[in-house]
Structure 1
């Protein structure tokens, strides 16, 4: 019988994708997404197909996972992780990662860095002025231009963090700015998925914040992105009580359940294990949901039997094949 270390090594040099995913506590689909989207991929590919990750690859991945878990946008985290001294050198002229537009029907293309900076400054300035019309116009423009996923990762979420830091550094001033910006972002996300194809039939994804958790915007972004793809989703929002969460899972028989926790105080591992163990259907054909523990509150809180996506794009990569098999 092979030892765990031998199984991790697999055949040939380097670690397999499954072994690396277990070490980092992420889904294998997340690693494939990082490779495709951001060029953070393995140095070795046996037979041109099988991935083998070297120690240098693992170091880059570890840095990227750490950065994304603290809220750094994946594209920026990948750039920082690759540019660290121990990261492998990437020669000029080597093709970069595929943009999300190559894989997404809603044109989630990566915008130029300069454009992103201008859009961030414009949105932050409009929010600080409490200019509601300008905030709405800028949000609609960035979603329309770049697609919802890129707009969230590269513009909306960074501006939210910047406003939060300004509030903290100014003695809790600008609370009204954060509230106004959050309310208008919520509206823009709903508008962004208003005109989509009819919802596909089949078991939905159930999205809920854990009891005591009131931060809903990242979950709203996920709901909107799934709806833009015509995927079935049921959004339950903030602080869903335990009994209501249990009832919703049993009543809907979802393909997946996403449990959002912004802080460690609301990341309830026992509840996540309970949801992952819920079954339904007749004996011999019972179903159970795929459970995603999403949000920075789950950092360092691994829950067996669940998947922890690091960011909106990774959550979509995990959910899409589950909600639209084949």
Structure 2
């Protein structure tokens, strides 16, 4: 038997991947994926490689990525591979399932992060928008928050502390990234029917980047979030807590 011969019918593939046969047919019609051969009777049959690719895509969609974006990410992995194809059976490690990243895609995300930071420091917000359009097509919001926005905020902040980045530039770049995080705190899957998690910066605290990232990640996990903002007097926090009886309170005091 040829190692990667097309021998698996659509019912078997559906059971092996957890993707319904009807969904496989729809994806093939809309996105030309997955790729299949046909028997003499016209029935779809698939290779083991294509099954591994389907499993990879399912991990991505289960983590929140849209199917069109997951397929584009798959194509990017193929282009990055030296042979033009990736052994997807080797990518299903626990780390990749948890983080939604592969070694190849993580490396590419690091490149995009450096490019984003450089263009924000040059005040090129239009280029930053283009970079975000690309990462949104390839990665989940969780990946973008942790591996793109986080390092960029940190890098720009360190540059300001060293005197290498002007205050106005730091504010422009930080505000640009904060707006992305604020959107993710208010947009997402339906929340649990529980009181919100209250997030606030302590009096005199204006470093909110980490708290915004935490809030966006909470919202991605369906927790309702009430973000109060920078430098909130404790008496105001206490009054808000009495009114809302939140599930939890998280405050940041870095300075």
Q: TM-score under structure 1 normalisation?
A: 0.45
The match for 1:8 is: none
Following superposition, the deviation at residue 144 of structure 1 comes to: 5.1
The match for 2:171 is: 179
Secondary structure at 1:258 match in 2: strand
Give per-residue Cα distances to partners, 1:105-136, cap 9 Å, x unaligned: xxx51253421221122101211220112223
The match for 1:123 is: 116
The match for 1:223 is: 215
Where does the alignment leave 5 or more consecutive residues of structure 1 unmatched? 1-92, 264-326
Q: How does 1:88-99 map to 2 (within 5 A)?
A: 96-99=93-96
Q: Counterparts of 1:161 and 1:262 in 2: how far apart (Å)?
A: 14
Q: How does 1:198-217 map to 2 (within 5 A)?
A: 198-217=190-209
Secondary structure at 1:208 match in 2: strand
Following superposition, the deviation at residue 234 of structure 1 comes to: 0.8
Q: Which has the higher helix share?
A: 2
Which consecutive segments of 4 or more residues in structure 1 shift more than 4 A?
A: none
Q: 1:196 to 1:117 in 2, by over 3 A?
A: closer
The match for 1:311 is: none
CA contact (8 A) 2:199 2:227 kept: yes
Q: Counterparts of 2:197 and 2:165 in 1: how far apart (Å)?
A: 38
Equivalent pairs, count: 164
Q: 1:193 to 1:134 in 2, by over 3 A?
A: farther
Following superposition, the deviation at residue 219 of structure 1 comes to: 1.4
Q: 1:115 to 1:205 in 2, by over 3 A?
A: same
The match for 1:253 is: 245
The answer to whether residue 101 in structure 2 is matched with residue 110 in structure 1 is: yes
Q: How does 1:261-272 map to 2 (within 5 A)?
A: 261-263=253-255
Give per-residue Cα distances to partners, 1:227-259, cap 9 Å, x unaligned: 233321111111110101111111111111111
CA RMSD of aligned residues (A): 2.6
CA contact (8 A) 1:140 1:192 kept: no
Give per-residue Cα distances to partners, 1:180-225, cap 9 Å, x unaligned: 1111111212334554233332221111111111111221222222
Q: Greater RCO between the two (CA within 8 Å, min separation 6)?
A: 1
Which of the two has higher C-alpha Rg? 2
The match for 1:136 is: 129
